[in-house]
Structures are given as C-alpha cells and as structure tokens.
Structure 1
Amino acid sequence: MSQTLLSILIADEMHPSLFAMLDEAGFSYDYQPKITRSELLGKLAAFDGLIIRSKTTIDSELLDKAPKLQFIGRAGAGLDLIDLDAVRERNIQVFHAGTGNRDAVGEQAVGMLLALLTNIVKADREVRNGIWDREGNRGYELGSLTVGLIGYGNNGQATARRLSGFGCQVLAYDKFRTDYSNQYAQEASLEQLMNQADVISLHIPLTDETRMMINDVFIGQMGKPFYLINVARGEITSLSALVRGLENGSVRGACLDVLENEKLGKLTPEQQASFEYLRQSDRVILTPHIAGWTHESYVRINEVLVRQLVEAGLA
C-alpha cells in the first residue's frame, strides 16, 4: 500500500460503482463530471491521478499543468485521445480497460452482422408498414461465409469466440502479433484476408497508420464483394469511399457502430452526402457507438481499471 493516499481527479461521467471500488482501494478522489477544459487546466496541478472517458483530450498543454501527475486511467478501451509520446516523456503511467467491454463489442459485431445478412431491420420496417415480402428478404447464412478480422487483440478475439458457433471460417490479421492461431481463428496475412474474406471486421485502434485505412484503394484490392463491420473507430473508414463501394457493388453491405464524424449536426457537405446515402440504404445498419456500451460493461470497465491501479502499487 502507498504511504499516502493518492488523489485522483475524475473528469468524466462514471458509473457509480467506481466510487466504492476506489474507496475500498484507498484512493482519494474528486468527482467532477461536468468540468470544462479550462477548469481542468486550473485544477489538475493538485492531483496525482486523472481518470477520463471520452470527452478529455490529453496533450502537452494539459500535462504541463500537472506536475504531480503519476497516472492516467481511461475508463474504456481506446487511447486515441491521449498523446502517448507526451505522456511517456513525463513518465506518466497510462491504464485502460481493454478487457472491460470486449464481450459486449463481440456480441454487437456478430449481432449487427446477423441482422444485416438476414434483413432483420429491413423486414421489421416493412412488416410494420403492412408489407409481407418473404422473397425480397431472403437472407444468407453466416456459416457459409469467411470472416476476416483485422486486429486480434481483446475485441478481435472476443468476436472470434462468438463466431465459432456458426461454422464460418474466421481469418485474423494482426500486425503486432505472431503465432496467434487458435481454435477460433486462423492467422493470416492481410493479403490472404483480403483475397478470401466475405466479411471484413475492424478491431484496431485509431492511429496515423489506420486513419482512413478503409478507402478506395483498400476496397478496390478486395478479392470479392464483401460486408464491412466497423465497431472500432469511425475514422478508420472513409464514408465517401464506402458509399462508392456500395454503389458499384464492391461492398455488399455495412454494419457501422462508429462514423468518421459522430457529431451529426456538424458534418461537412461531403460527410452529409455520405451519411444521407448510408441512412437510406437497406444494406447498411447504423448504431450510435454502443458496441461495448452495455449495462454489464459499464461496471466491468471500472473493475478492470481499479484492479490495474492496485496491481501497479498505486493504492
């Protein structure tokens, strides 16, 4: 245990389960879910730790105002809001709950794909409007397809486990791993995956390298028309390129839990045009960044994060 209580500023809305966990671990904290960036810059100097979710960008400007800061905890999986180079320069530890919502993400990916393949959303809408069209809603079986997972970390593996019961072939490509084939997925090169996959599912972080990875070139290099699932980060997929793929038949359909711009009231003209096409298409299923956003994962993320802080000797 630490000799003194470490003080943490919590700068985002959190599930109330977090506070009992922090109390039990022996942390002191100040919960400020509505804090503005300017207020954060003024208060952070007094704290040893910072816990965030999705609204706070961690950059050099903020870190320069936090001379005591020992750690940052991200109550979620992605780290794209944190300047990791700036954090490393200051020897600040970063923790994130990468395992906390992986089951929820896996279920969302498979659920969206099943709904798309079997026309559940389209058929439901039609029946509600008095249309009984069986032939027009004839679907495809997941077991007949090859699914390619790009990224085989927490979320990719959780998705593969959930796919295993459907009898489909699952290929996985992960640039940063080797020898990771298991009973759920077969390791493959990106080229193999693009040649063979009927479905591409994204399970990678947003980085300079992955930004707009799914673009006209990528779509044009696929070996056959494919379905796209993006439950990772919106900016990995160019929506204008996706629309062109849907229009020319290169893309059979898309499941999008994330968009390159999720502020729907502030879309650029190009983004607005793409969004209008996608929202009217029966071959597209859209959800508002809720993969991983379950009642269970909301608590589990806190459990994973606090456990990491304790195991690092911060409590």
Structure 2
Amino acid sequence: MKILIADSMHPSLFSMLEQRGWEYAYHPEYRREDIKTALPDYEGLVIRSKTFLDQDLLANAQKLRFIARAGAGLDLIDLNVVRDMQIEVFHAGKGNRDAVAEQALGMLLSLFNNLLRADREVRQGIWDREGNRGIELLGKTVGLIGYGNNGGATAKRLSGFGCQVLAYDKYRDHYGDQFAAESGMEEIMEKADVISLHLPLTELSRYLIDDDFIAKCGKPFFLMNLSRGEIVKLDAVVRGLKSGKIRGACLDVLENEKINKLTISQQDAFEYLRSSDQVVLTPHIGGWTQESYVRINEVLVQQIEEWL
C-alpha cells in the first residue's frame, strides 16, 4: 500500500507506518495541483487542511482507497464524492478532544477571572483588585451544542466545577451521561449561562449563531466557539456584546481566519473584538498541543489498521 502524506505531520507518523510495512511518500510542500497530479499512484492520502478534496481533485485518483484527515472536521472533504468513489474517510476526532476541552476551560476561566486584562495592568504598574473582580463557574448552566468527542471531553472537565451541563446533539439519541443531561436546543437557549459550540461545519450549522439566535436566548450568556469559525457571524456577536445580550466571548476560530484578507465588515467586527476585554481570542489552537500532535497519528493509524 502506497500512501501520500501531503501536509506537515509529526515525525512519529513515519515510524508507525514503517512498523506496519506501509510505503509512504512525504510531501508537505505539495500544493493542490501537485496533489492532483500525484494521487493516481496512491491508495491512501493523509492531509490536514491544505485544500478542498472535491470531484476535480479526486477525478483521476482511481487507486485511492482511503483519506485520513489529521484533525476532527471533515468540512474540507466532499463526502458525497468520496462516497460515490467508495473511498473510506478517517479523521482524528479522538486524537485532540482532550486538548480542545482543556483549551475551552482555559479560555472560559481566563474570561471569567479577567486574567488577560489583569496581567496587562499589573505589568503596567496598575494594581486594580476591584476592577478585576471575577465570577465563578460554580452553579452556572453550560449548554453544549454538539456532543461528540469534543463536547463530551469538555463536559467531563466541567463536571469538576459544579456546573449544570446541558447537551444537545442533532445526530445522536440517548447520549446523556454522568457529565451532561440530554437537552433540546430550546432548553439550552432558554437556560444557559454559557453556550459552547462543538459541532461540524455543515450547511445546517453555517451561521447558526446569528442575530436571530442571540435574540431568542432567554438571558444574557457567554459564548464559546472552538469548532468552526463560520458557525458564528462575527458582526452578530459584536451587536450582542454591545447590547449586553452576550456577556463575553471565547473565540478560538473566526469567520475568516485569513486576518490580513478580511472584508470591510469582517474587519470592523474584528477591530471591535480584539479591543474588547469581554473577548478572549486564540489562533485556532484548540487541540493544538504537543501531546495531540502525536495522538492524532496514533488514532489515524489505528483506524486504518482496523479497517484493513
């Protein structure tokens, strides 16, 4: 079996493949046309987020048996095309779920306790205790929209903070457990003090969080997004922050992550968000740890091996 690795990967992957006698070619420098040209010679493709895997790219990949996505989301793969071509798809949702959950808690605690602002002020010689009085997670209701790998891992960590955790997942039944109660979207929108997103980007979830969603929520809430940026309309978040309906936001992903190529409206929203003490921003690093870098490889290789 010949595998094309067309993205930068942790070197632990190479020894895992070699131990199983699988032949591979490592070309992290490849761009879309390079991948398209090379694919007809390979039975497997390992990739992260380099390009959209669509009919055009895969048209001549007649030998291709599987695609392994080194990450959780599958929004860059045309699943209808790969299904028609009988190509198996693997992803590493279990590989970085613990890292995502820790990032979520870190961002939320930073926001609740004004850690970023307080740090900046102390470095400037400002000792303002009252102005940085925080709030506690204890007793808060947290609503998780999406209860797969990342949602479940986040609920597990929230369980130690005395929160009531509600979870909604459109694609599952009977998923309530010791860490979260199965809920409906309406109940989360009515009761949650914190709404956290843990769902894939699809046509149904695109811009789920918009002005209408925010207006329908029963009380002011904190928003967390560590899933996909296009699930949240940033200008709607800005309006929610200005009105007080959104009390604060933790955003690891943005509607457009090419922050040097924003539209005028996106730039206006970004300028407000980056200047607000009610917002914690990180550059899509949820799940981006030293440990998850290796664990993603382990999860992918295990899935491929079991399938074979």
TM-score grouping bracket, smaller chain normalisation: over 0.9
Q: Partner of 1:172: helix, strand, or coil? A: strand
Supply the distance in 2 between the matched residues of 1:232 and 1:218 (Cα, whole angstroms).
Answer: 17
What is the Cα deviation at residue 302 of structure 1? 0.1
8 Å CA contact 1:70–1:92 kept in 2: the answer is yes
Structure 2 counterpart of 1:216: 211
8 Å CA contact 2:3–2:43 kept in 1: the answer is yes
Q: 1:169-184 residue pairs with structure 2 within 5 A?
A: 169-184=164-179
Instruction: Kindly provide the amino acid, as one letter, of the partner of residue 292 in structure 1.
Output: G
Per-residue deviation, residues 37-66 of structure 1 (Å, max 9, x unmatched): 111111111111111011121000011021
2:65 pairs with 1:85:
no
Runs of 4+ in structure 1 off by over 2 angstroms are: none
Instruction: Kindly provide the amino acid, as one letter, of the partner of residue 249 in structure 2.
Output: A
8 Å CA contact 1:11–1:56 kept in 2: the answer is no
Structure 2 counterpart of 1:3: none
Structure 1 counterpart of 2:107: 112
Supply the distance in 2 between the matched residues of 1:111 and 1:38 (Cα, whole angstroms).
Answer: 40
Q: Percent identity?
A: 65
Q: 1:48-59 residue pairs with structure 2 within 5 A?
A: 48-59=43-54
Structure 2 counterpart of 1:275: 270
2:284 pairs with 1:289:
yes
2:65 pairs with 1:73:
no
Structure 2 counterpart of 1:308: 303
8 Å CA contact 1:225–1:251 kept in 2: the answer is yes
Per-residue deviation, residues 106-135 of structure 1 (Å, max 9, x unmatched): 000011001100101111111111111111
User: Please, which of 150, 158, 161 is the counterpart of residue 156 of structure 2?
Assistant: 161
Supply the distance in 1 between the matched residues of 2:154 and 2:20 (Cα, whole angstroms).
Answer: 32
Structure 1 counterpart of 2:190: 195
Instruction: Kindly provide the amino acid, as one letter, of the partner of residue 146 in structure 1.
Output: T
Instruction: Kindly provide the amino acid, as one letter, of the partner of residue 179 in structure 2.
Output: Y
Supply the distance in 2 between the matched residues of 1:291 and 1:36 (Cα, whole angstroms).
Answer: 25
When the two chains are superposed, the root-mean-square deviation of aligned CA atoms in Å is 0.6
| TM-score, length-scaled by structure 2 | 0.99
Structure 1 counterpart of 2:125: 130
User: Please, which of 132, 136, 147 is the counterpart of residue 152 of structure 1?
Assistant: 147
2:257 pairs with 1:238:
no
Supply the distance in 2 between the matched residues of 1:129 and 1:14 (Cα, whole angstroms).
Answer: 40
Structure 1 counterpart of 2:253: 258
8 Å CA contact 2:31–2:50 kept in 1: the answer is no
What is the Cα deviation at residue 144 of structure 1? 2.5
Q: Partner of 2:102: helix, strand, or coil? A: helix
Which ranges in structure 2 are unaligned for 5 or more consecutive residues? none
Instruction: Kindly provide the amino acid, as one letter, of the partner of residue 107 in structure 1.
Output: E
Q: Partner of 2:67: helix, strand, or coil? A: strand
Instruction: Kindly provide the amino acid, as one letter, of the partner of residue 14 in structure 2.
Output: F
Q: 1:11-22 residue pairs with structure 2 within 5 A?
A: 11-22=6-17
Which has the larger displacement, 172-181 or 71-80?
A: 172-181
What is the Cα deviation at residue 176 of structure 1? 1.2
Q: Partner of 2:118: helix, strand, or coil? A: helix
Instruction: Kindly provide the amino acid, as one letter, of the partner of residue 26 in structure 1.
Output: G
| Number of aligned residue pairs | 308
Instruction: Kindly provide the amino acid, as one letter, of the partner of residue 89 in structure 2.
Output: V
Instruction: Kindly provide the amino acid, as one letter, of the partner of residue 152 in structure 1.
Output: Y
User: Please, which of 75, 85, 90 is the counterpart of residue 95 of structure 1?
Assistant: 90
8 Å CA contact 1:99–1:301 kept in 2: the answer is yes
Per-residue deviation, residues 59-85 of structure 1 (Å, max 9, x unmatched): 000110211111100011110100000
Instruction: Kindly provide the amino acid, as one letter, of the partner of residue 62 in structure 1.
Output: L
Q: Partner of 1:142: helix, strand, or coil? A: coil
